């Protein structure tokens, strides 16, 4: 039910079968409900139990997967987060950490080890993970690499705590994978992206229709005012309507604490600049980035950059204060990256390896500037070390 993109690797026959099963499920849903928004398609493509990209057993992160995350690049990333967390934990009524979507467990492992080395007490390390496959990978990583006393602090959750807790909440590359709506602005109309099935090609495809949802129409009107005249080629972009309810639910579950979100994205003014006519939709398949979300559903990641202005607004509405906003490079350096990486007695090969890791994490053309860090506080007043070098809240 798909044809390989000419520049992308051909999936194996087993992978194609997996994608075909998911495609048939999406198609059955589409035939029952012919108006499927792109966000609904993306939800099924990524999260259908057992078949969706994040809900299956296919490799996702690392050399055998489709992309690499900062915790996999270097343990220095997680150690810096641990240093920032260590500043916050003593201020909480109970020292807990809650991590969203913990991948293979690498970040949790390195944070727990660093906090232990710092002698920082921790009650629980909660991991909210919906994927059964990733949960098992996390359990293996942590069981194999942590002393039993540390492993016993890890608690897996499948939903937010019903009783409010005090915690440092960590979410690395979580917001970008939330299902989003796709819009197309034309000179005389604003359209919303739906998904249709093309019987001739045997593939899903875009189907743009007039906007009917009031929140989307309001957003489109604001965008048209901001963009001014749009060419006949049109202007395509994304909006994540899930950020606000997600932060609202988080605000109800965290009575006191700090939320630290790390993701690639921009402020609203940068995000919706007139030159960005194709938006930020990106798919990742075997370490290749492309823009076709209908390529073998279930075999690839689908993402969009984060509008951090929208995050800040939703946070304020949900009872949080924006405590800091900066680039990943400045956050890591503020949290002690360079001091931790200084190993004068290490072999030259090790020093070179660490230097390369630091470049990947901090250089502007790598992860350093595209990735941003935003901190949201609740019932906590603290000047965070990660934002000491450069705080960009004024740009939000």
* Residue given tokens 């960590």 in the structure block: 170
Residues 6+ apart with CB under 8 A from 128: 98, 99, 100, 101, 156, 157, 158, 159, 160
What 3-state class would DSSP assign to 242?
Answer: coil
* Residue given tokens 């800040």 in the structure block: 312
> Tokens at residue 351, please?
């020093």
**Separation of alpha carbons 307 and 276, rounded Å:** 14
- Taken in order of first residue, the domains within the chain and their CATH numbers are 70-177+243-271+305-395 (3.40.50.12710)
- Classify the C-alpha dihedral 338-343-348-349 as positive or negative: negative
Lowest pLDDT segment from 69-73, 122-126, 351-355: 351-355
Q: pLDDT, tens digit, for every residue of 5-28? A: 557 889 999 989 999 999 999 999
Q: Strands 124-128 and 96-100: what pairing?
A: parallel
**Which pLDDT does position 5 carry in this prediction?**
52
> Tokens at residue 28, please?
């059955």
What 3-state class would DSSP assign to 174?
Answer: coil
Lowest pLDDT segment from 48-57, 175-184, 215-224, 383-392: 48-57
176 DSSP 8-state letter: G
Distance of CA 130 to the CA centre of its chain: 14
**Which pLDDT does position 246 carry in this prediction?**
98
Mean of all residue pLDDT scores within the chain: 93
Q: pLDDT, tens digit, for every residue of 310-323? A: 999 999 999 999 99
**Strand runs (DSSP E) across 88-227, as ranges?**
96-100, 124-128, 154-157, 165-172, 181-186, 189-198, 203-210
Helices (H) and strands (E) in the chain, counts: 14, 16
pTM: 0.94
Q: pLDDT, tens digit, for every residue of 93-113? A: 999 999 998 999 999 999 999
**Which pLDDT does position 349 carry in this prediction?**
85
**Which pLDDT does position 351 carry in this prediction?**
83
What would the mean pLDDT of 244-264 be, rounded to a whole number?
Answer: 97
Q: pLDDT, tens digit, for every residue of 111-151? A: 999 999 999 999 999 999 988 888 999 999 999 999 999 99
Residue 37 to residues 73, 183, 211, 375, Cα–Cα distance (Å): 35, 11, 11, 31
**Which pLDDT does position 4 carry in this prediction?**
47
pLDDT over 90, % of the chain: 81
**Separation of alpha carbons 165 and 122, rounded Å:** 13
275 DSSP 8-state letter: T
- Single out the residue of 202, 192, 285, 284 nearest to residue 23, CA to CA: 202
**Which pLDDT does position 2 carry in this prediction?**
53
């Amino acid at each position: 039910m798909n044809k390989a993109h000419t520049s992308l690797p051909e999936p194996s026959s087993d992978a194609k079968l997996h994608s075909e099963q998911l495609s048939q499920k999406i198609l059955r849903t589409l035939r029952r409900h012919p108006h499927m928004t792109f966000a609904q398609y993306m939800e099924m493509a990524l999260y259908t139990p057992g078949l969706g990209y994040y809900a299956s057993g296919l490799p996702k992160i690392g050399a055998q997967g489709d992309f690499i995350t900062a915790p996999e690049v270097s343990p220095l990333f997680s150690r810096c987060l641990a240093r920032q967390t260590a500043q916050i934990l003593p201020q909480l009524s109970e020292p807990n950490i809650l991590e969203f979507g913990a991948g293979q467990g690498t970040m949790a492992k390195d944070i727990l080890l660093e906090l232990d080395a710092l002698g920082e007490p921790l009650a629980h390390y909660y991991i909210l993970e919906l994927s059964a496959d990733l949960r098992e990978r996390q359990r293996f990583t942590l069981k194999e690499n942590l002393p039993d006393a540390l492993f016993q602090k890890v608690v897996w959750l499948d939903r937010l705590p019903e009783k409010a807790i005090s915690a440092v909440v960590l979410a690395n590359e979580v917001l970008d994978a939330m299902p989003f709506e796709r819009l197309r602005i034309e000179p005389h109309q604003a359209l919303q992206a739906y998904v249709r099935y093309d019987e001739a090609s045997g593939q899903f495809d875009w189907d743009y229709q007039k906007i009917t949802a009031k929140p989307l129409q309001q957003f489109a009107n604001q965008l048209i005012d901001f963009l001014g005249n749009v060419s006949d080629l049109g202007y395509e972009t994304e909006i994540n309507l899930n950020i606000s309810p997600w932060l609202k639910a988080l605000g109800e579950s965290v009575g006191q604490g700090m939320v630290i979100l790390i993701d690639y994205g921009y402020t609203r003014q940068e995000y919706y600049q007139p030159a960005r006519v194709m938006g930020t939709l990106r798919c990742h398949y075997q370490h290749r980035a492309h823009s076709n979300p209908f390529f073998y559903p279930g075999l690839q990641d689908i993402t969009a950059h984060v509008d951090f202005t929208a995050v800040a607004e939703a946070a304020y509405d949900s009872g949080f204060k924006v405590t800091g906003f900066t680039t990943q490079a400045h956050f890591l350096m503020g949290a002690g990256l360079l001091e931790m990486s200084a190993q004068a007695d290490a072999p030259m090969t090790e020093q070179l390896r660490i230097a390369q890791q630091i470049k990947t994490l901090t250089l502007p053309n790598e992860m350093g500037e595209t990735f941003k860090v935003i901190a949201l506080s609740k019932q906590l007043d603290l000047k965070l070390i990660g934002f000491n070098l450069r705080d960009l809240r004024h740009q939000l």
